[in-house]
Structure 1
Amino acid sequence: MMLACAALLAGCKDAPRSIVPGGEVQQGLRLVTQYQCGACHAIPGVQGAAGGDGPALDHIGRLSYIAGGIPNQPANMVRWLRVPHAVKPGTEMPPMGLTDQEARHMAAFLYTLR
């Protein structure tokens, strides 16, 4: 009996958990698609996201820094997504008009890209 339960549990795959307080990974995936982030970035798991103007985001969840020098921490990622020019003046990353909650969801998704 215990062996059967262990086999069943081994086949289960939980949805990725968010390390961003208040962020939901699936909502973030939806928003990354809705805001067409893939027009500038290559993003695994996002259909048609093969842009080359911005950096590929395939490992952003494990990088030490975002945007070339900002410590990669959830609060910084959320702020970067909301107001990139306030975080790094002169950046080519455009402000998308995200709400704080939208940025939390998007950051939650981005942190799954490892």
Structure 2
Amino acid sequence: MPSSLRWLAALVLLAVAGAIASGAVLYVETRHSNQMRAEAITGGNSDAGSSIIARVGCGSCHIIPGITGATGRVGPSLQGIATRATIAGVLSNDPSQMRRWFKHPQSVLPGNGMPDQPITDREARDVAAYLYTLKH
């Protein structure tokens, strides 16, 4: 192989490696930015929220990205919930309404399939923070 082709191949490989690295950095920065925003608007901790979601068993009914074993199909998928206009089709999608829905879904929409959850206000803020990171 001529040396000029070797240099060209090396430059192409370097460009591809640079593009992959740039994409990875952009992904991490976007994810961190989403997490910071979610925590700011909810007053919660998204890391704690993911633990609470796993502990309470939300994944037995819902598909929840990032939660191991959260593959339930009884309730709706929570993928992209941060970008939805409403919660359960009846509440505006804002942090206070989301917390209300988590804790007391039966008082919001009697007879629906979601049971009231035995979580504190702090835990509800943490769960909301996690779910508001789910933009896609």
Kindly, what percent of the aligned residue pairs are identical? 41
Answering whether residue 102 of structure 2 is matched by residue 60 of structure 1, we say no
Decide which moves more: 36-45 or 89-98: 89-98
* Greater displacement, 50-59 / 15-24: 15-24
Aligned to 1:30: 51
Rg larger in structure: 2
Return 5+ residue gaps in structure 2 as ranges.
1-23
TM-score under structure 2 normalisation? 0.72
More helix by proportion, 1 or 2? 2
Give the Cα–Cα distance (whole angstroms) in 2 for the partners of residues 88 and 19 of structure 1. 28
- Corresponding position: 1:71 with 2:92: yes
Q: What RMSD in Å do the two structures reach over aligned CA positions?
A: 1.9
Q: Deviations over 1:6-51 (max 9, x none)?
A: xxxx946437111444211111011011111100000100011100
Cα pair distance change 1:21/1:113, threshold 3 Å: closer
Q: TM-score, normalised by structure 1?
A: 0.85
Higher relative contact order (CA 8 A, sep 6+): 1
Give the equivalent residue in structure 1 for 2:17: none
Amino acid at match of 2:112: T
